[in-house]
Amino acid sequence: MTTIIPISELRNKQPRFRGLESGHRACLGCGEALAARLVIEAAGPDVMVANATGCLEIFTTPWPESAWRIPWVHSLFENTGAIAAGMEAALKAQGKSTKVLAFGGDGGTFDIGFQALSGMLERGHNVLYVCFDNEAYMNTGIQRSSSTPHAAMTTTSPPGKERMGKRHLKKDIVSIVAAHHIPYAATTSVAYPSDIRKKIRRAMAIDGPTFLQIHSPCPLGWGYEGDQSIAVARLAVQTGLFPIIELERGGLASVMPLRHIPPVTDYMKIQQRFRHLFLDDLRAKEELEHIQAIANHNIEVYNLRGEGKDAFDSKGMDTVRRGGIRWA
């Protein structure tokens, strides 16, 4: 008699591909380490990685050891896009279909490496660029980057008499990237692993440049206990401060709508980098109001309330499709 085993049971017994092995030296609760592992699991073994200088490079490859089980190249802060483009061109010349992934933090993506990234996108290389966004230069001492949120405290944007933390707004990198009219650009968060996997698989299937920004909390740089990383990441999304969206050829294609929208203070008060905003100070009150206005703007611009659609909560994964701009 033949025993029929359900497909779901077989799938559960099948081990996941682990391109990033345990035993690396990331901090406890590191959002970037979790994000990188999820990306590689979803991408599968037939990939090559160009990895910019930064936390991910440092904690996974302390000489003579490596936590990577895939072909992996350490690029400089400023040239990851160019290195990945060269790898892709070489593989194409050899007739190979191996997908090239480029990894960078916000420093290597928003700032130092943006020129090479822009060139890679403009030339149309078949590369998936993943930005692990922890909102500062964490590896070199928690200096501010153009991804650091407004009013956040870093070692180079301390609060004081002149200003309350970082003066400037967080750069909208995904819109800038999408303005290159690439096939696909999206944001996601470590708080939603299924969303990361879905978007990686979608990007992997596209022939052309694609981009994914993953919000990756940093316990050390943000100032919270390591076991709170997922809760912190989820609040960033739920308050509207980090919208989860997809863009196709520069046009908005889908959003992850929100059902319950807490105030931004729920997100900020559990992080030491915003502690100066909870002092009895008129300037602090004004900055909190400003940050709430930023979240409200995101909610309205992307219609994150999802009125008239299936809404999203912390346990759901529904998205709302939008009528985006299309180019042939």
Give the residue extent of every domain in the chain: 18-318
114-123 vs 80-93: helix axis angle to the nearest 10? 30
Sequence-distant (≥ 6) Cβ neighbours of residue 280 within 8 angstroms: none
Range in 6-10, 139-143, 148-152, 216-220 the model is least confident about:
6-10
Given CATH 3.40.50.300, say whether it is the number of domain 18-318: no
pLDDT higher than threshold 60 for residue 317 = no
State what percent of residues in the chain have pLDDT above 70: 91
Q: In this predicted structure, what is the pLDDT of residue 326?
A: 29
Range in 171-185, 195-209, 302-316 the model is least confident about:
302-316
Contact in structure between 134 and 32 (CB atoms under 8 Å): yes
Sequence-distant (≥ 6) Cβ neighbours of residue 64 within 8 angstroms: none
User: d(Cα 104, Cα 52) in Å, to the nearest integer?
Assistant: 5
Tell me the pLDDT band of 14, cut-offs 50, 70 and 90.
low
103, 105, 109, 110 alpha-carbon torsion, rounded to 10°:
160
Q: In this predicted structure, what is the pLDDT of residue 269?
A: 97
Question: CA nearest 17: which of 33, 31, 3, 38?
Answer: 38
pLDDT tens, position by position, 252-275: 999 999 999 999 999 999 999 999
- β-partners of residue 248 are 251
pLDDT higher than threshold 70 for residue 102 = yes
Helix (H, G, I), strand (E, B) or coil at 193: helix
- Cα distances (Å, whole numbers) of residue 123 to 127, 130, 209, 265, 318: 11, 18, 9, 42, 34
Q: Using the 8-state DSSP alphabet, how is residue 274 labeled?
A: G
Question: CA nearest 209: which of 67, 102, 64, 324?
Answer: 102
Tokens of 260: 């319950």
User: d(Cα 203, Cα 197) in Å, to the nearest integer?
Assistant: 10
Tell me the pLDDT band of 313, cut-offs 50, 70 and 90.
very low
Sequence-distant (≥ 6) Cβ neighbours of residue 174 within 8 angstroms: 185, 186, 187, 211, 213, 245, 247
Q: What is the DSSP annotation of 283-303?
A: HHHHHHHHHHHHHHHHHHHTT
Q: Using the 8-state DSSP alphabet, how is residue 256 labeled?
A: -
* Phi and psi based region of residue 95 (left: phi greater than 0; alpha: psi -120 to 50; beta: remaining): left
What value does the mean pLDDT take over residues 170-176? 98
Sequence-distant (≥ 6) Cβ neighbours of residue 3 within 8 angstroms: none
Q: In this predicted structure, what is the pLDDT of residue 16?
A: 74
Q: In this predicted structure, what is the pLDDT of residue 1?
A: 62
Helix (H, G, I), strand (E, B) or coil at 68: strand
Tell me the pLDDT band of 126, cut-offs 50, 70 and 90.
very high
- Cα distances (Å, whole numbers) of residue 203 to 41, 93, 244, 303: 14, 22, 15, 24
The sign one gets for the Cα dihedral 118, 236, 317, 7 is positive
pLDDT higher than threshold 80 for residue 251 = yes
Tell me the pLDDT band of 308, cut-offs 50, 70 and 90.
very low
